[in-house]
Amino acid sequence: MKATKCLLIFISILTLASCKKDDGGEDEFALNNENLSGNYELIFLQTVTVETTEINGLQVVSTITSVGDTFQVDYFFTNNGEYTAAGLFRILTTTVVNGEQTMEDAMIQDIDIDGNYTITSSSSLLVLDGVTFEVTLFNENQLRITRTEIDTFPNGDTVEFSEELRLIRQ
């Protein structure tokens, strides 16, 4: 009975040890040139610019939001750090000043870019032609990148710009 109990405990320990999940993150799709390379389709683009200024003692906040749709834009990333982006999409821009919509405009954008990229996988950064994006989602099927810039001027005015792009692998 004692030998059976020891054998049962030994088998239980072996079973638990062999089923333990790896902490090495092997299931994670690594952000690197090889995994990024390929064709992608742009499916989402949004930019938001918030300008805050003071005019005659009154604070004025302008928010300009641009949202893309009707995408026909393809991105192609090579594994040697080059990329292209080409195609057409419609962009709808809305301007709101102090809570009141003042303007709305739609236009067709045509892009044709040949550029270079670098990846900092340890901090999930993708740099496209010197512009740094944070990679918020990357897997076998999609890439999502964002960036935010805040500029403060000597007179106290501020401009905050944010951008998000979503691409799916073709």
- pLDDT averaged over every residue in the chain: 87
Task: Indicate the residue type of 129.
Answer: D
Structure tokens of 39?
């064709």
Q: Is residue 4 pLDDT above 50, yes or no?
A: no
Task: Indicate the residue type of 78.
Answer: T
CA distance 167 to 40: 6
Which tops the pLDDT comparison, 123 or 105?
Answer: 105
Residue 27: its pLDDT value, please?
54
Residue 10 confidence class, pLDDT cut points 50, 70, 90: very low
Q: Tell me: the pLDDT tens digits for 34-52?
A: 999 999 999 999 999 999 9
Which tops the pLDDT comparison, 117 or 55?
Answer: 117
Q: Is residue 3 pLDDT above 90, yes or no?
A: no
Residue 57 confidence class, pLDDT cut points 50, 70, 90: confident
Q: Give φ, ψ of 129 to 5 degrees.
A: 50, 45
Residue 53 confidence class, pLDDT cut points 50, 70, 90: very high
What's the whole-model pTM score?
0.79
